[in-house]
Structure 1
Amino acid sequence: MTTWNDLTSAALVGTDRRPYRGDLLQDAAVEVARRRAGRRPDMAPGGAPAPAPVEDRPAVGRRAAERLMRILGGQHDRLLPEWLAAAAATGRRVPPYTLPDLLDRGRRDRSIREHLGVLAGRRGRWLAAYNPAWSYLLDEPTGETWELGGAADRRAHLRALRSADPGAARRLLEGTWERETPDDRAEFVALLADGLSPDDEPFLEQALDDRRREVRQAAANLLTRLPGSRLARRMAERLAACVTITGDVIAVEAPEACDRAMERDGIRPKPPRGTGERAWWLQQVIARAPMSEWELPPDRLLTMRIPDWDVDVRAAWVRGAVLQRDPEWARAMFAFDPISDLLQALPPGEQQELAARFVQGRDLDSQLIMVLGGVSSPWGEELATAVLHKIVRVAATQPWNLGELVRLAGEHIDPALGLLAMSYSPVEPIQQVAALLRFRADMHKELAA
């Protein structure tokens, strides 16, 4: 019998170098079908798989399940994460017949796994235990407690506690810190971003000495967002050694080396490809030093001359605004370099105001699409109107260029604004947006029923 290794070897090196007797493509197709259908299930002691456990939660309603199958079948399939998030919030599960498609989708799309862990129910986990391709589900949250749950359950528990009582969450983590795995420690530290305060500094400063680089990096990132922290003061001293402002000139001297103390504070010694070492160290020092150390407002600094390292300094200002979630710097740097990451430093309402002005003043291009993709949902009337106006204008000149903008509008505008969209213009792209908003509005009604 021809083995799978024989087939793949012949396909990879070519039949000229590895002769193959028979029809390679036909035999490969047969083998693929055989491997998919012929996997041997794990057997219980009685010779048959153990029965699926009884579910402890009700399934979503019939109409909601039917819409889910339509989405899985390709109708507005980018709405699947929204459907899953809304369904998970109801505390219900999906019906069993949807599980194979959903679990296959989760195998390819990691972003939906968190909600699948809840929605798949007990039968979903029963299926995952018999199919290695679906085994990822066994690592997703189930709703168990901190003491009894797996890694994903414990992350979910810590996240919820941190939102309700930041101090209690930190104390809970401190109590089990030495027993946590390196991977879990890194993820737990990152969760402390919610409710971050100076009270967290002693714990995070201690985490800078962790053996795992990811733990140290996560702790340094959070301490960077605390302007009064010891790490922030150390970075301020490094910045002062690199930068001098005289009149309208910013004189810069990049670090000559990256010592262990710098590494401990989150500065990575090895630069990415295409960036010099000194430039890389300089960017990180500037990005991690408190933005208030510049004293002058960012709008003023952006007009000043930087004889050396100009590109690196400005890139570091962008990185610093994002890393430190500094609203003033985010506004200024968005005007200088409109990247969507900067919007995350601003409240949702201000994100949408900035994005609306950006849409009004820019032609449709990939940058506009990227900015809109980073704006928090749902979009309110101001941004919705700006985007609808842009669609009408572009429809008259470049209708072939509208596909992604129409999809973004339909997926992110508040579904309650469906009538606004429908009456805005009779042009076909606007009506497509309105139809997608109706689809989403019906979707949420069905899940709330």
Structure 2
Amino acid sequence: MTGWDDLASTALVGTDRRPYRGDLLEAAAVEVARRRAGRKANEPGGVEPAPGEEREAVSRRAAERLGRLLGGEHERLIPEWLAAAAATGRRVPAYVLPELLERGRRDRSIRVHLGVLAGQRGRWLAGLNPAWAYLLEEPTGETWELGGAADRRAHLCALRAADPAQARRLLESTWERETPDDRAGFVEVLAEGLSMADEPFLEQALDDRRREVRQSAANLLARLPGSRLSQRMAGRVRACVTISGDTITVEAPTACDKDMERDGVRPKPPRGIGERAWWLQQIVSRAPLSFWGRPQALLAMKIPDWDAEVKAAWVRAAVLQRDPGWARAMFGWDPIADLLECLPPEEQQELAARFVRGHDLDSQLIMVLGGVSSHWREGLATAVLSKIVKVNATQPWNLGELVKLAGEHIDPALFELAEDYSPAEPIQQVAALLRFRADMYKELSR
């Protein structure tokens, strides 16, 4: 048998210069098969067997449906299936693990529940395949003392929801020993139950060496109107803004000093935005919204210079400070999904339903609906179904994404409403997907 090096050399120079007896490509194929078959098997005892499972697997029918999703049938529902399955406290069966872990390698969005759903066997596989090692960083239910970074963050989240002060004290007790990456993630956890009791700790975090830590701390402090950072930002806005009658006069900052950087103002703007506009937007977005007064009145005023920048900063401030009143007002000026997230789910849906009824089907409508929390109740569901019927009469080719969103986000318990709403094919497609999801939840409950 000719060696691989000889075959490769002959292929490189060509058989005219180096004659070869026989079929070169056939010999190369045989050599490839021989080399693969001749790899050494793992030495006996080289791999520890997988540990036993502690959690019960989901039902056979539920697992079969997951297999269908992984096979491409309504695959956009995979994250919803995983979230619903994780909520049951059960795991997926071993035979779907390779395909599920491989998908998680490509799609980060589905990893959040895999630490629990993959069970002991999944973590064992992740330890054998470097491509699946990401699983070892996902929460498994371990404690603060024994868990990895993801487990410790999950523990801190649960403690924060139950006892915010105790969670902060726990974080303070280990803060100096945490890695920069862990510190950045742990600061974000404090958004739950945020209060002025957290202000001294977050103010101290503004001096952290890691930029992500400083940014997260500054964002949280901006949600506390009484924080020292909020008051410093208000002072900077006062130096830039004068309100007289129905006019707002603005003079953007001319420099970004070290104190501004400490408070989370990033000196270098993104491409396409000037420095002064960038600094202005950041200080306005972190100044207390109470500084301005009523948003409806302000939106009616004239801003001769920096109008777009100030209003974009108000949108950012409403989102950053989670202010429902400002979110409602700014949604009328710039209807984006981020503003809806500042509102309770029911109000999100009411506002989105009004938008659907008064807006043509375009990319903006799709983006707004994409930001509304599932499951959509009857009011929003009916508005969307009505829009589908209307557009189907004139532009049926334009309905693809709207039909998918409706089927994926309407409460699956409303499948009969959709079935009876109209015989139009797009409506029946929505109904079929809702029934699919209703069956999915039923299987996971057994």
Normalising by the residue count of structure 1, what TM-score does the alignment of the two structures yield?
A: 0.91
Contact kept in structure 2, 1:117 and 1:138, CA below 8 Å = yes
Change (3 A) 1:436 1:20: farther
3-state SS in 2 of match to 1:129: helix
Residue-by-residue CA offset, 1:245-271 (whole Å, 9 max, x unaligned): 111111001111111111111111110
Q: Distance in 2 between matches of 1:201 and 1:300?
A: 31
Contact kept in structure 2, 1:271 and 1:280, CA below 8 Å = yes
Match of 1:270 in 2: 268
Match of 1:217 in 2: 215
Match of 1:207 in 2: 205
The answer to whether residue 278 in structure 2 is matched with residue 280 in structure 1 is yes
| Selected match of 2:80 from 76, 79, 82 | 82
Residue-by-residue CA offset, 1:289-336 (whole Å, 9 max, x unaligned): 0011012x1111112111111111111111111111111111111000
Q: Distance in 2 between matches of 1:21 and 1:132?
A: 38
Shift of 1:48: 3.7
Shift of 1:40: 8.0
Match of 2:174 in 1: 176
Change (3 A) 1:64 1:251: same
Query: Structure 1 stretches (4+) deviating beyond 4 angstroms?
Result: 19-22, 37-44
Contact kept in structure 2, 1:107 and 1:134, CA below 8 Å = yes
| Selected match of 2:382 from 382, 385, 395 | 385
Q: Distance in 2 between matches of 1:21 and 1:233?
A: 77
Q: When the two structures are aligned, how many residues end up with a matched partner?
A: 425
Shift of 1:49: 2.1
| Selected match of 1:407 from 404, 407, 411 | 404
Residue-by-residue CA offset, 1:145-192 (whole Å, 9 max, x unaligned): 000000010011111111111111111101111110000000000011
Contact kept in structure 2, 1:207 and 1:219, CA below 8 Å = yes
The answer to whether residue 307 in structure 2 is matched with residue 301 in structure 1 is no
Q: Distance in 1 between matches of 2:445 and 2:96?
A: 19
Match of 1:55 in 2: 53
Contact kept in structure 2, 1:255 and 1:281, CA below 8 Å = yes
Match of 1:325 in 2: 322
3-state SS in 2 of match to 1:267: coil
Normalising by the residue count of structure 2, what TM-score does the alignment of the two structures yield?
A: 0.92
Q: Distance in 2 between matches of 1:289 and 1:355?
A: 28
The answer to whether residue 359 in structure 2 is matched with residue 368 in structure 1 is no
Match of 1:14 in 2: none
The answer to whether residue 419 in structure 2 is matched with residue 422 in structure 1 is yes
- The letter of the residue matching 2:98 is P
- Which stretches in structure 1 are left out of the alignment for 5+ residues? 7-18
Residue-by-residue CA offset, 1:106-140 (whole Å, 9 max, x unaligned): 00111111201100001001111111111100111
- The letter of the residue matching 1:350 is E
Match of 2:251 in 1: 253
Q: Distance in 1 between matches of 2:66 and 2:4?
A: 41
| Selected match of 2:159 from 149, 158, 161 | 161
- Across the aligned residues of Structure 1 and Structure 2, the Cα RMSD in angstroms comes to 2.2
Q: Distance in 2 between matches of 1:330 and 1:231?
A: 22
Q: Distance in 2 between matches of 1:170 and 1:265?
A: 21
Residue-by-residue CA offset, 1:326-362 (whole Å, 9 max, x unaligned): 1111111100010111111111111101000000001
Contact kept in structure 2, 1:224 and 1:289, CA below 8 Å = yes
Shift of 1:439: 0.6
Change (3 A) 1:425 1:41: farther
Contact kept in structure 2, 1:355 and 1:372, CA below 8 Å = yes
